[in-house]
Amino acid sequence: MSQVKGLCVLDVDGTLILEEVIDLLGREAGHEAEISQITSRAMRGELVFESSLRKRVSLLEGLPILVFDNVFNSIHLSLNVPEFISILQKNGILVGLVPGGFTPIVGEISKIPWYCLFHCQPA
């Protein structure tokens, strides 16, 4: 991309990819149903996001870093994402990813040739 004409920033969980990464991590930790329920309620605005995130993350305690490979291999891009990003980039639009966290997953996604940058919130 020779000249940047704009910026398109995409959410990752449930937007760029079909899944919520924290739910997939919950599956690996044996708490999929509980974490998924909390996630759904938080996304509907029924729970305070910060406290619900802390609760979900606490259920992941002790999970080895190696599970991120399993999680990355089980995610699915949303429909037409590669085509959408290709069109943006052909038109000089820089693409960025802003997830809720989990840098290992977004780091892997950002290695796909059509991504340029990403930002994860510090813990």
Domain borders along the chain are 1-19+76-123, 20-74
Q: Per CATH, is 20-74 categorized as 1.10.150.210?
A: yes
Q: What is the pLDDT of residues 15-36, one digit of tens each?
A: 999 999 999 999 999 999 999 9
- What's the rounded Cα separation, in Å, for the pair 12 and 34? 21
Rounded to the nearest integer, the mean pLDDT of the chain is: 87
| 72 contacts 38 by C-beta, under 8 angstroms | no
For this structure, is 13 an active site residue? yes
Q: In the CATH hierarchy, which top-level class contains the domain 1-19+76-123?
A: alpha beta
Specify the pLDDT at position 94: 86
Closest CA to 14 of 52, 53, 40: 40
Specify the pLDDT at position 121: 56
Question: Looking at the predicted structure, is the pLDDT value of residue 93 above 80?
Answer: yes
Q: Which of 10, 13, 39, 89 is catalytic?
A: 13
Kindly state the average pLDDT of the residues 107-118: 70
Q: Which of 11, 46, 69, 83 is catalytic?
A: 11
Q: What is the pLDDT of residues 51-70, one digit of tens each?
A: 999 999 999 999 999 999 99
